[in-house]
């Protein structure tokens, strides 16, 4: 009797564990994407930047990133390697600030809701993770960049033909992250009916529901969607008609103008000397779409 | 303060949804919890095993996982489909009822054995002695822990935000995307929860006073 009971418990526990790992089906590029080699700048000076002084003192740089967005900021759960476009941009900036990107970076995964907090308390030195520049956020923190221009788009199943853009969503179930700007736009512009709006904590959960045919479209920035489409090109596709502009910036402490100028210099330089292009081609560019570095906004 | 002015309607809608979730799940889990407690004290070993199995399984499973099951796994079984709100009520109910059951069972254990024996000796059956003699005394003894379980349920409703139910837990990411400081949003939501919990505590006190069993 005892043994039987124990076996039942074991089976239940095993199926629970399966359920847990099954949900994280995002999988992703195993072994990490090729890291772009960076030349570490020597004798870097950033006058009057408290953040830079702190980094110098530690001899390391702490960068806030996303860990659940394939192609942008993704942590391989097995190897703990970070990969993606945002990660490569973060490495590029670190190298130009005089830190070896292979040995002197600490990545810290920070979810969207905690970004401002992490930056203003100094938990991270700067943040690179699909961070849309907007005026309200500029009141709390500062932005360097933009380093990428994304736009809201739709991810659908590859066999779908009736969703062609934002105006064909009526009567379709649309999913995005809880409270995110993309889903708020869908609500405000009444792109679909209120009962057809679905919100989950993570985009990967929306993608799961899309594959399970519970919903018809996932909406957010095209950069994020391309990452998912590239993972499962047989089953998923991006519609490719963006209907917003999301300039991605590097988040940093509010009053650190010196560091902001420095990072803007780095980004401008990488756009002209081809570094930016190399980074893009090694990551998001693999989805088959091209992109140009946006003009840096020195506000 | 300006959060309250600017986003008052969002907060109000969120709290309304929270209250709805709470009331439905509370009512359902009180009923299911009582049934489970009855199973656990019943004279039939098989029924006792069912009750114990349920409580052991559900009480040891994280609530998020139960939500996960109903939102991501259940649809694959291709049974009756229901909206996310219903799924949330079901998830909260089957989780909370395990706790209600245990609280009630503890209450039943406080009723002296003599009461049950006396009930049996005047010819009452199991159901009659339970409903007329034991449960009325047991419920009175467990008002304080029962209200604590309900308060926990009220706060647990915020888990539903991650599963497409727009209760107050979804207000935080919303405000954050609007560029509002997250901390301010947290403060208002905490105040909102205080306002909801205080009446529960007052009810608890008054029931405790009026219902206490003199032994």
Kindly determine whether residue B72 and residue A209, on different chains, have CB atoms separated by under 8 Å: yes
Q: Choosing among A1, A12, A26, A113, which should be mutated to test the B contact, i.e. which has the most B CBs within 10 A?
A: A113
Residue identified by tokens 């756009």 is A271
Closest to A126 (Cα-Cα) out of A104, A113, A102, A108: A108
Q: Which of A19, A113, A205 sits opposite B176 (nearest CB)?
A: A113
Asked if residue A229 has a cis previous peptide bond (ω within 30° of 0), the answer is: no
Helix B84-110 × helix B45-59 angle, to 10°:
120
Which tokens is A69 given?
Answer: 């967005």
Sequence-distant (≥ 6) Cβ neighbours of residue A170 within 8 angstroms: A191, A192, A193
Rounded to whole angstroms, what are the CA distances from A153 to A173, A291, B166?
15, 15, 23
Which tokens is A16 given?
Answer: 């629970």
Residue identified by tokens 């570095």 is A293
For residue A26, pLDDT over 60 is answered with no
For residue A20, pLDDT over 60 is answered with no
Sequence-distant (≥ 6) Cβ neighbours of residue A49 within 8 angstroms: A256, A258, A259, A262
Within B42-142, residue ranges assigned H as helices are: 45-59, 63-68, 84-110, 113-121, 126-129, 135-141
For residue B159, pLDDT over 50 is answered with yes
Question: Average pLDDT over chain B, rounded to whole?
Answer: 90
Q: Give the per-residue pLDDT at A120.
A: 92
Q: Report the C-alpha gap between B179 and B186 in whole angstroms.
A: 14
Instruction: Output phi, psi for A254, to 5 deg.
Output: -55, -45
The mean pLDDT of B90-118, rounded to a whole number, is 93
Name the pTM for this structure.
0.77
Q: Report the C-alpha gap between B113 and B127 in whole angstroms.
A: 16
Kindly determine whether residue B171 and residue A12, on different chains, have CB atoms separated by under 8 Å: no
For residue A290, pLDDT over 80 is answered with no
For residue A71, pLDDT over 70 is answered with yes
Closest to A235 (Cα-Cα) out of A25, A13, A37: A25
Q: In this structure, is the dihedral angle defined by the CA atoms of residues B61, B65, B67 and B70, taken in order, positive or negative?
A: negative
For residue A2, pLDDT over 80 is answered with no
> Which residues of B fall below an 8 Å CB-CB distance to A?
57, 61, 65, 68-69, 72-73, 75-76, 83-84, 161-164, 166, 170-183
> Which residues of A fall below an 8 Å CB-CB distance to B?
12, 16, 19-20, 23, 112-114, 116-117, 134-137, 139-140, 177-181, 184, 195, 198-201, 205, 208-209, 212, 214
Kindly determine whether residue B182 and residue A116, on different chains, have CB atoms separated by under 8 Å: yes
Which tokens is A201 given?
Answer: 């904590």
Q: Give the per-residue pLDDT at A29.
A: 41
Q: Report the C-alpha gap between A10 and B114 in whole angstroms.
A: 40
In contact, A202 and B192? CB cutoff 8 Å? no
Q: Report the C-alpha gap between B98 and B60 in whole angstroms.
A: 10
Q: Give the per-residue pLDDT at B213.
A: 63
Residue identified by tokens 């930047």 is A49
In contact, A84 and A287? CB cutoff 8 Å? no
For residue A33, pLDDT over 70 is answered with no
Coil, helix or strand for A72? coil
Measured between beta carbons, which residues in chain B are less than 8 angstroms from residue A181? 177
Closest to B89 (Cα-Cα) out of B38, B34, B19: B19
The mean pLDDT of B199-215, rounded to a whole number, is 81
In the DSSP assignment, the letter for residue A151 is -
Strand partners, A152: A221
Chains A and B form CB pairs within 8 A to the count of: 70
Q: Give the per-residue pLDDT at B139.
A: 86
In contact, B94 and B32? CB cutoff 8 Å? yes
Q: Choosing among B10, B56, B72, which should be mutated to test the A contact, i.e. which has the most A CBs within 10 A?
A: B72
Kindly determine whether residue A19 and residue B171, on different chains, have CB atoms separated by under 8 Å: no
Q: Give the per-residue pLDDT at B215.
A: 58
The mean pLDDT of B7-20, rounded to a whole number, is 90
Residue range A169-227, pLDDT digits in tens: 999 999 999 888 899 999 999 999 989 999 998 898 999 999 989 999 999 999 899 88
Q: Report the C-alpha gap between A69 and B154 in whole angstroms.
A: 32
Residues A154-179 as b or e (16 or more Cβ within 10 Å = b): bbbbeebeebeebebbeebbbbbbbb
For residue A3, pLDDT over 80 is answered with no
Residue range A269-289, pLDDT digits in tens: 999 999 999 998 888 887 777
Closest to A161 (Cα-Cα) out of A117, A202, A216: A216
Q: Give the per-residue pLDDT at B210.
A: 83
Question: Average pLDDT over chain A, rounded to whole?
Answer: 85
Q: Which of A20, A137, A200 sits opposite B179 (nearest CB)?
A: A137
Q: Give the per-residue pLDDT at A5.
A: 52
Of residues B49 and A47, the one with the higher pLDDT is: B49
Closest to B177 (Cα-Cα) out of A158, A220, A272: A220
Sequence-distant (≥ 6) Cβ neighbours of residue A248 within 8 angstroms: A86, A130, A131, A132, A133, A145, A146, A147, A148, A149, A150, A223
Rounded to whole angstroms, what are the CA distances from A104 to A47, A60, A84?
21, 5, 18
Q: Give the per-residue pLDDT at A25.
A: 37
The mean pLDDT of A122-145, rounded to a whole number, is 92
Sequence-distant (≥ 6) Cβ neighbours of residue A271 within 8 angstroms: A293, A296
Coil, helix or strand for A12? helix
The mean pLDDT of B66-82, rounded to a whole number, is 86
Q: Report the C-alpha gap between A133 and B138 in whole angstroms.
A: 59
Coil, helix or strand for A41? coil
Q: Which of B69, B83, B182 sits opposite A113 (nearest CB)?
A: B182
Which of left, alpha, beta for A27 (phi over 0: left; psi -120 to 50: alpha)? left
Residue range A44-56, pLDDT digits in tens: 888 889 999 999 9
- Count CB-CB contacts under 10 A for residue B112: 12
Closest to A150 (Cα-Cα) out of A120, A127, A135, A129: A129
Of residues A30 and B38, the one with the higher pLDDT is: B38
């Amino acid at each position: 009797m005892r043994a039987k009971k124990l076996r039942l418990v074991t089976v239940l526990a095993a199926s629970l564990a399966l359920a847990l790992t099954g949900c994280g089906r995002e999988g992703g590029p195993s072994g990490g994407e090729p890291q772009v080699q960076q030349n570490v700048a020597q004798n870097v000076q950033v006058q009057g930047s408290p953040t830079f002084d702190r980094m110098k003192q530690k001899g390391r740089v702490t960068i806030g990133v996303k860990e659940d967005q394939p192609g942008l900021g993704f942590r391989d759960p097995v190897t703990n390697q970070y990969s993606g476009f945002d990660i490569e941009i973060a490495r590029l900036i670190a190298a130009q600030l005089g830190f070896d990107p292979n040995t002197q970076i600490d990545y810290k995964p920070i979810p969207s809701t905690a970004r401002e907090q992490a930056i203003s308390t100094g938990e991270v030195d700067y943040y690179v993770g699909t961070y849309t520049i907007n005026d309200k956020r500029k009141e709390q923190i500062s932005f360097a960049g933009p380093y990428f221009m994304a736009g809201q788009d739709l991810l659908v199943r590859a066999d779908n033909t009736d969703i062609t853009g934002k105006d064909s969503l009526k009567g379709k179930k649309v999913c995005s992250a809880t409270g995110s700007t993309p889903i708020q736009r869908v609500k405000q512009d009444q792109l679909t009916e209120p009962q057809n709006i679905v919100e989950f904590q993570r985009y990967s959960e929306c993608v799961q529901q899309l594959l399970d045919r519970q919903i018809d479209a996932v909406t957010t920035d095209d950069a994020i969607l391309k990452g998912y489409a590239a993972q499962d090109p047989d089953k998923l596709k991006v519609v490719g008609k963006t209907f917003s502009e999301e300039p991605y910036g590097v988040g940093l402490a509010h009053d650190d103008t010196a560091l902001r100028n420095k990072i803007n210099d780095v980004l401008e330089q990488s756009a002209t000397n081809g570094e930016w292009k190399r980074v893009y081609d090694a990551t998001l560019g693999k989805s088959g779409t091209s992109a140009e570095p946006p003009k840096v906004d020195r506000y | 303060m300006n959060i309250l002015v600017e986003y008052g309607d969002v907060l109000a809608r969120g709290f309304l949804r929270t209250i709805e979730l709470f009331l439905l799940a509370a009512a359902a889990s009180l009923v299911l919890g009582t049934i489970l407690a009855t199973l656990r004290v019943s004279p039939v070993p098989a029924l006792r095993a069912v009750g114990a199995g349920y409580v052991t399984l559900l009480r040891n499973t994280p609530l998020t996982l139960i939500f996960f099951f109903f939102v991501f796994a259940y649809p694959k079984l291709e049974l009756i489909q229901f909206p996310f709100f219903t799924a949330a009520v079901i998830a909260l109910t089957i989780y909370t009822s395990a706790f209600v059951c245990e609280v009630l069972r503890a209450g039943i254990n406080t009723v002296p054995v003599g009461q049950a024996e006396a009930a049996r000796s005047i010819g009452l059956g199991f159901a009659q002695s339970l409903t007329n003699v034991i449960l009325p005394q047991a419920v009175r003894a467990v008002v304080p822990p029962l209200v604590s379980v309900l308060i926990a349920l009220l706060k647990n409703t915020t888990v539903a935000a991650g599963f497409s139910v727009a209760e107050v837990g979804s207000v935080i990411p919303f405000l954050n995307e609007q560029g509002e400081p997250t901390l301010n949003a947290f403060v208002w939501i905490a105040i909102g929860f205080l306002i909801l919990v205080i009446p529960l505590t007052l009810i608890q006190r008054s029931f405790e006073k009026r219902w206490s069993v003199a032994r």
